[in-house]
Amino acid sequence: MFVCYTLIAWILITLKIPFWVWIFGLIAWFTITLVASEDSDSSQPWLISLMFAGAIAGWVLGKEAGGMITATVWGMVGMGLGAIAGSETASKSIIGLLTVMGIAAIAGLIAGTRRGNWLGAIFGGGFGVIMGLMLGIILDAIFQSRAKLGTGSLFGLLLGGWIGAGIGAGQKAMMRVIEQIQPEVIIAAWGAIALVAGVVAQMVAGEKLLASYNGFYTFLILGIASGLGFSFGLWLAY
């Protein structure tokens, strides 16, 4: 947890993230620390924490990849991924949500970088979903799947949507975007990974500490440990 928060602070300074993002991040850090110290048997604490982490991680990565438009879309996609990870969602619903969020992520990247047709990505994704689903249904029929939506249908839905969005974005548009990836995007990707890992580590530590301490002491321990990580990361950056 300490190492993850150290890396997060160092990356935020290195990428010169605006001050208001720091304020939002500190509020999220306080909220996640508070949620992690709550003695709850429900999955709600995990849901809240992972949605926060996904939104911030998606925004930071999207900001470096394509600007504000991409950051906004990827922030919402990250929040959706966090909601999936923090809740007990049925597998079929997960595939459907991943399909929609994948199409949105591609369209948001194209819109932010202005390297292709983002509307084409959306329509292409929709067409790809239909074609992939039809192909998957045929495969399920060949292999005699008993489910209404078998494995072939679900994977056809997912891959068809993503491939269709990539094709609809424009010829070679995705390749041009990938070719122009800057080192900052790679740093932001590591920051996104560190952020999610730090939140998960904080939640796990909170569950372990609650077995020995009450909520107040757990909050203090988590806050001090992660806060020291933030401070050390700032010191390293400067």
Q: What is the pTM of this model?
A: 0.78
Has residue 77 been placed in a domain? Answer: yes
Quick one: pLDDT at residue 123? 93
Looking at beta carbons, which pairs linking 147-151 to residues 24 or more positions away fall under 8 Å? 149/92
Has residue 174 been placed in a domain? Answer: no
Burial 90-127 (b: 16+ CB within 10 A, else e): eeeebbbbbbbbbbbbbbbbbbbbebbbbebbbebbbb
Quick one: pLDDT at residue 185? 78
Has residue 216 been placed in a domain? Answer: yes
Has residue 160 been placed in a domain? Answer: no
Range of the domain at 8: 2-88+182-237
Has residue 11 been placed in a domain? Answer: yes
Has residue 208 been placed in a domain? Answer: yes
Query: Helix crossing, 183-210 with 19-36: angle to 10°?
Result: 20
Number of domains in the chain: 1
Quick one: pLDDT at residue 42? 65
pLDDT digits (tens, 9 = 90+) for 173-203: 777 777 766 777 777 887 788 888 888 888 8
Question: What are the helix (H) ranges across the chain?
Answer: 2-14, 19-36, 44-66, 68-85, 91-113, 118-142, 151-168, 173-179, 183-210, 215-237
SS3 15: coil
Has residue 120 been placed in a domain? Answer: no
Has residue 75 been placed in a domain? Answer: yes
pLDDT digits (tens, 9 = 90+) for 208-217: 888 888 888 8
Q: What angle do CA 98, 119, 128 make, to 5 degrees?
A: 50
Which residue in 39, 34, 38, 28 sits closest to 5, CA to CA?
A: 28
